[in-house]
Structure 1
Amino acid sequence: MNASGDTREETFRGLYAAHFDCVLGYALRRTSRAEDAADVTAETFLVAWRRLQHVPVGDAARPWLYAVARRQLANQRRGELRRRRLGERLRHDLAVVVPDVSDQVVQDHTVDAAMARLSARDEEVLQLHLWEGLEPREIGEVLGLSGTVVRPRLSRARARLRELLGNDPPAAGHIQDKHPTPSREEER
Structure 2
Amino acid sequence: MRDDRRTRFEKVYLDTYEQILGYAMRRCDSPEDAADVVAETFEIAWRRVDDLPPGEQARLWLYGVARNVLANHRRGLIRRHTHQTALRENIADLYAHTSPTGEESELRAIGQVFRELSDDDRELLSLVAWEGLDAGEIASALGRSRNAVRIRLHRARKRFSHGLARAGIEFTPTSRAARVPTWRSS
TM class by smaller structure:
0.3 to 0.5
Structure (1 or 2) with the larger CA radius of gyration: 1
Larger RCO, structure (CA 8 Å, separation 6 or more): 2
